[in-house]
Amino acid sequence: MKDRLLRINQIIGQSEVTQEQADENRQQGKSPRTPRPYMEPLLPVGRSTFWKGVAAGRYPRPVKLGSRTTVWRESDIVALINQLDETC
């Protein structure tokens, strides 16, 4: 069975952006400029905290797909969540 690959937003979640918010952002030159659904976080940490954890070795190392795409193996993230559950 192949391991699923997760992008950072699938790990730390993302807030919803409605079509109206996206239109307003586009007019003001802000991001995000396209609507997006809400994603429940697997790990309730911010983006910079997650990257600091990766750099410090507390969180799993990513897999690079090409020059711009970074993903994590789902099994590595599940193992991290289980490890964090055991320590709490």
DSSP letters of 47-60? HHHHHHHHHHTSSP
| Contact of 36 with 9, CB cutoff 8 Å | no
pLDDT recorded at residue 43: 95
pTM: 0.83
Kindly give the confidence (pLDDT) of every residue in the chain, 88 residues in length, as a single tens digit, with 9 standing for 90 and above. Answer: 578 999 999 999 999 999 999 999 999 999 889 999 999 999 999 999 999 999 999 999 999 999 999 999 999 999 999 998 888 7
Residue 25: its H or E element: helix 19-28
pLDDT recorded at residue 85: 86
pLDDT recorded at residue 26: 93
pLDDT recorded at residue 30: 92
pLDDT recorded at residue 1: 55
Instruction: Please identify which residue in the block is written with the tokens 């997760």.
Output: 6
Per DSSP, which regions of 1-88 are E strands? Answer: 5-6, 63-65, 69-73
| Contact of 14 with 35, CB cutoff 8 Å | no
pLDDT recorded at residue 86: 85
